[in-house]
Amino acid sequence: MNLTFLGTRGEIKARTRRHRMHTSLLVSHRGARVMIDCGLDWLGKFKRVSPSAIVLTHAHPDHAWGLRNGAPCPVYAPQQTWQSLQHYPIEDRRLIKDRTPTKVCGITFEAFPVEHSILSPAVGYRVRAGRARIFYAPDLIFIHERKAALDGVQLYIGDGATVMRSFVRRRGKALIGHSPVRTQLTWCQKEGVPRAIITHCGSEIVNGDERQIAAKLRGIATERGVEVRIAYDGMKVKL
Ligand SMILES: [Zn+2]
Ligand SMILES: [Zn+2]
């Protein structure tokens, strides 16, 4: 499995050379090219990625609005995401049911509901191809079935909206927002995931001194027996 971090910027105003495009991951395996998420930055631009399929985590602008004018390939998403995108001129719509491994061009995707938003419910994906297993969740407060989601996973790719500070708000009984990277590294420790990559970078990373933040994160990760790095646009990882 080959991973290309096409974009690593969260829903913020700032953008830099390292974090220019809205968060998106290209998963390649045996000629298949599956793009996860296609935010507004990708509108009219994602054709150069030439994806075989697009898979969506949720309907927020930085994850789905690049499809406003349609898509050149099949698009896979959970039911609640399709409800939000019903007016989009996407011809080939495929449904991904929660906790149901679904083959997308030979790569297996299993959606795990995550807490993040009431209006745009989100999922994280457990992705499997050959012997490689990863979990990808660019926006989340927590994973509902974390143990099953992270079981045997070699690489956790998580939400960099906030590094140390909590960004969780209560709306009635529900919670919305993002968990700090620190908390996500603790999940990796608890579930035995050896490696984490942080994407969906927020202003703490994009506006901050990234070297200093990366060093701080490495310290936190080392205490937990986890290896961590911050993704940048164009970064490639081979598993
Ligand atoms: Zn987002
Ligand atoms: Zn979101």
pLDDT 10s digits, 171-197:
887 888 999 999 999 999 999 999 999
d(C-alpha 197, C-alpha 97), whole Å: 26
Predicted confidence at residue 18, as pLDDT, reads: 97
Predicted confidence at residue 70, as pLDDT, reads: 97
Cα 231 to chain center, whole Å? 12
pLDDT exceeds 90 at position 168: no
CA of 10 to the centre of ligand 1 (A): 5
CA of 184 to the centre of ligand 1 (A): 16
Predicted confidence at residue 180, as pLDDT, reads: 96
pLDDT exceeds 80 at position 47: no
d(C-alpha 229, C-alpha 54), whole Å: 25
CA of 160 to the centre of ligand 1 (A): 10
Domain of 67: which CATH number?
A: 3.60.15.10
Predicted confidence at residue 174, as pLDDT, reads: 81
CA of 224 to the centre of ligand 1 (A): 26
Predicted confidence at residue 92, as pLDDT, reads: 98
Q: Which residues surround ligand 2, an ion (CB under 5 A)?
A: 60, 139
Backbone φ and ψ for 108, nearest 5 degrees, come out as -90, 125
d(C-alpha 151, C-alpha 153), whole Å: 5
The three-state secondary structure class of 188 is: helix
Query: Which residues share a beta bridge with 2?
Result: 28, 238
CA of 165 to the centre of ligand 2 (A): 17
How confident is the model over 135-165, as pLDDT tens digits? Answer: 999 999 999 999 999 999 999 999 999 998 8
- The total of structural domains in the chain comes to 1
CA of 76 to the centre of ligand 2 (A): 17
Query: Which amino acid is it at 109?
Result: F
The domain of 54 spans: 2-238
Angstrom distances, CA of residue 91 to CA of 66, 85, 192: 15, 12, 41
Contact 24, 35 (CB under 8 A): yes
